[in-house]
């Protein structure tokens, strides 16, 4: 399963939303809050195998499905 699909399913299951466009802002749309971001980080580290340094906890990496998938792919390529 693609990273985007896994992230989308996690968002739907964890935050009880029906549909989330890949580029919709989680924070801007109210889908998640700052605590939710920490859940996303935990998901990435435990399920997708990518350690997230504190310096990477910025909206550019975690504020949409597309951004999260791109971040995970970038981390995988760098490893």
The model's pLDDT over 58-71, given as tens digits with 9 standing for 90+, comes to 989 999 999 999 99
- DSSP assignment letter at 55: G
Give the residue-averaged pLDDT of 47-54.
89
Closest CA to 72 of 33, 35, 25, 56: 56
Instruction: Break the chain into its structural domains and give their ranges.
Output: 3-78
Looking at the domain 3-78, which fold is it? 1.10.1200
Please report the pLDDT score of residue 76 as a whole number: 87
Distance CA 14, CA 58 (A): 21
């Amino acid at each position: 399963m693609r990273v985007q699909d896994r992230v989308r399913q996690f968002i739907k299951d964890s935050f009880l939303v029906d549909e989330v466009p890949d580029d919709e802002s989680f924070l801007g749309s109210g889908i998640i809050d700052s605590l939710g971001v920490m859940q996303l980080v935990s998901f990435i580290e435990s399920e997708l195998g990518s350690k997230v340094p504190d310096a990477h906890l910025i909206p550019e990496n975690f504020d949409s499905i597309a951004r999260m998938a791109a971040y995970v792919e970038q981390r995988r390529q760098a490893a």
